[in-house]
């Protein structure tokens, strides 16, 4: 493992602080207040490092809060008036993309400390207006006009997957069951309860074969990270440093019909390979993989695109427990989008925050024993944008 091919260890980008808030229906809290809750926790955790830039990951504020210009809105509100502040949008990959911009800014040497926050406030509206906002990430002219939604995209993929892999109807249930099991001990999870196969089978339809328990619940949430370079970390830190060893974003067509092989998820594959190559890591080096299970089918496709399961076989390995906390490659260790809850464009920051806690041995009851290296991947749309990061514990 290398620190992203950087020879001077002091120049490596590290996570200096983590701030996570519960995903849920926060009727009494606004968008900017949610962001503040996360950033103040992250800054406290970072021991007083002063950010010079704020990068926001968000996808729903324009549609659901009637708010653009989020970077400055949040920078001002959290007491960082005057600093560089920008918002990044890449649908469900927004958080991972914002994190990458922070990483690049630090590598450039122009900035010494970056605050990255993923935030969503989605519960102020309900019903078809929310579904219309969600559908804004599909191709408006050629998909959304036909009534297409992200859930319907997932359904098209899932039906095709079940056919091509010869898998039974409930083949993807283990992904949902595992996610809920992992969330039971996560104080920041939206659904802290286990579900059974019977629950899964009896859940109502969203867009068949996607059922209610294949789909992640969308809710409010915010998570934040403080990034800096290793040489600038306060010397008082009494825990292992976590270095960004690999970072990559790749893209594929937004519209499912424009993808030559919709089940292949090439953006997921490319970004995963590039991030691992940069880290000098192989899939065997990974102790955990925080993937984006917005729908159960997306978990299967992410694993297969990454080469962590043979094509058409991820469901089978999941059924054998390979991806549980005690399995060969734990995924969604805090419950993932399915049970922690999916806060849209904040997802990537939640994943990287959770991964950092794992690598520092601070994951409490959710700890993957001895975790040293892990990857996090968030997906925007139906595999259209994929942001993958490899983090590793720096041995001192």
**Footprint of other proteins (CB under 8 A):** 128-129, 131-132, 134-135, 139, 141-149, 151-152, 155-157, 159-160, 163, 204-210, 253, 255-258, 262
Residue number, 5 or 140, with CB nearest to other proteins: 140
Residue number, 106 or 148, with CB nearest to other proteins: 148
CB of 297 to other proteins, least distance (A): 11
Distance (Å, rounded) from C-alpha 308 to C-alpha 324? 14
CB of 132 to other proteins, least distance (A): 4
Residue 101 CA, chain-centre distance (Å), reads 15
Q: At what angle do helices 173-183 and 296-305 cross, to 10 degrees?
A: 100
Residue number, 53 or 218, with CB nearest to other proteins: 218
Residue number, 8 or 164, with CB nearest to other proteins: 164
CB of 163 to other proteins, least distance (A): 6
CB of 159 to other proteins, least distance (A): 5
CB of 35 to other proteins, least distance (A): 27
CB of 143 to other proteins, least distance (A): 5
Residue number, 137 or 182, with CB nearest to other proteins: 137
Peptide bond into 92 cis (omega under 30): no
| Bridge partners, residue 8, by sequence | none
Residue number, 45 or 143, with CB nearest to other proteins: 143
CB of 385 to other proteins, least distance (A): 17
CB of 383 to other proteins, least distance (A): 14
Residue number, 48 or 205, with CB nearest to other proteins: 205
Residue number, 141 or 395, with CB nearest to other proteins: 141
Cα dihedral across residues 34, 37, 38, 40: positive or negative: positive
CB of 181 to other proteins, least distance (A): 26
Residue number, 35 or 156, with CB nearest to other proteins: 156
């Amino acid at each position: 493992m290398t620190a992203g091919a950087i020879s001077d260890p002091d120049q490596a980008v590290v996570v200096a602080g983590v701030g996570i808030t519960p995903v849920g229906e926060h009727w009494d809290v606004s968008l900017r207040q949610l962001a503040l809750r996360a950033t103040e926790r992250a800054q406290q955790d970072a021991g007083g490092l002063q950010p010079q830039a704020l990068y926001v990951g968000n996808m729903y504020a324009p549609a659901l809060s009637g708010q653009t210009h989020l970077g400055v809105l949040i920078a001002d509100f959290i007491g960082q008036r005057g600093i560089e502040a920008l918002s990044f949008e890449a649908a469900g990959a927004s958080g991972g993309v914002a994190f990458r911009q922070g990483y690049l800014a630090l590598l450039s040497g122009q900035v010494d400390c970056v605050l990255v926050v993923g935030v969503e406030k989605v519960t102020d509206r309900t019903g078809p207006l929310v579904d219309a906002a969600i559908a804004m990430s599909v191709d408006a002219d050629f998909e959304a006009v036909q009534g297409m939604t992200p859930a319907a995209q997932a359904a098209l993929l899932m039906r095709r997957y079940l056919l091509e892999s010869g898998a039974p109807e409930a083949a993807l249930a283990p992904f949902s069951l595992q996610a809920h099991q992992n969330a039971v001990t996560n104080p920041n999870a939206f659904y802290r309860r286990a579900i059974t196969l019977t629950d899964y089978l009896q859940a109502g339809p969203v867009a068949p074969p996607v059922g209610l328990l294949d789909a992640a619940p969308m809710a409010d949430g915010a998570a934040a990270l403080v990034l800096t370079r290793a040489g600038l970390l306060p010397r008082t830190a009494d825990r292992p440093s976590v270095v960004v060893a690999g970072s990559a974003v790749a893209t594929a067509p937004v519209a499912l019909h424009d993808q030559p092989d919709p089940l292949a998820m090439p953006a997921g594959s490319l970004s995963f390979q590039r991030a691992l190559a940069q880290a000098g890591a192989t899939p065997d080096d990974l102790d955990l993989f925080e993937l984006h299970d917005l729908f159960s089918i997306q978990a299967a496709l992410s694993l297969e695109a990454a080469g962590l399961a043979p094509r058409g076989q991820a469901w089978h390995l999941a059924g054998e427990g390979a991806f549980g906390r005690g399995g060969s490659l734990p995924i969604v260790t805090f419950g993932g989008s399915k049970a922690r809850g999916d806060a849209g464009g904040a997802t990537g920051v939640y994943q990287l925050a959770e991964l950092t806690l794992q690598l520092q041995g601070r994951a409490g009851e959710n700890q993957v024993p001895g975790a040293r290296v892990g990857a996090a991947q968030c997906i925007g749309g139906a595999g259209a944008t994929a942001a993958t990061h490899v983090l590793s514990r720096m041995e001192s």
